[in-house]
Amino acid sequence: MVCLGNICRSPLAEGILKSKLFRANVVIDSAGTGAYHIDEKPDNRSIAIAKINGIDITDQRARKFLVKDFDEFDIIYVMDSSNYRDVIEMARNEVDIKKVKMILNEVFPNENLDVPDPYTGGDFGFKSVYKMLDEACDIIVKKINPNG
């Protein structure tokens, strides 16, 4: 799960997917394309909306997306088109490029919709981001675990 700062959207996406997917052989992580918040905890507003929904994301620490993530992960979900461009710029080949997907395309295929960056907005932005990611993660879990 990749966003810009790795403190608002992608930590929520990581926490939500982890809460829905209990397969030991699936590794879920998140990272940011920017380095502004490395080693920081998620934004308090992300922590709060996760907590309201029964998810604890306080153990997460921001890190930067690295080229080696292309080797370690099969699917790289990005939150918006700017994250998409930044990650694609780091891709080494077609195999890397094919791993990168806009997360809301799971809900609205081929529409390339952004999960809006809630950083400079208020709490409502975090609530709606949570809802979008929750819906996307439900679909991702069904794809990975078709029999529940």
Could you list the residues that contact ligand 4NP (CB under 6 A)?
3-9, 32, 36-37, 117, 119
Comparison of 6 and 60: residue with beta carbon closer to ligand 4NP: 6
Rounded Cα distance between 21 and 130, Å, is 17
Comparison of 35 and 144: residue with beta carbon closer to ligand 4NP: 35
Work out how close the CB of 117 gets to ligand 4NP at its nearest, in angstroms, rounded to a whole number.
5
Work out how close the CB of 145 gets to ligand 4NP at its nearest, in angstroms, rounded to a whole number.
26
Could you tell me the strand order of the sheet in which 100-102 lies? 31-32, 2-3, 76-78, 100-102
Closest CA to 118 of 140, 133, 100: 133
What does R_g of the chain's alpha carbons equal in angstroms? 14
Active site residue 3: yes
Closest CA to 30 of 47, 50, 13, 51: 13
Burial class (CB in 10 A: 0-12, 13-18, 19+), 11: buried
Active site residue 137: no
Work out how close the CB of 143 gets to ligand 4NP at its nearest, in angstroms, rounded to a whole number.
23
Comparison of 81 and 145: residue with beta carbon closer to ligand 4NP: 81
Closest residue to bound ligand 4NP by CB: 5
Active site residue 9: yes
Catalytic residues: 3, 9, 117
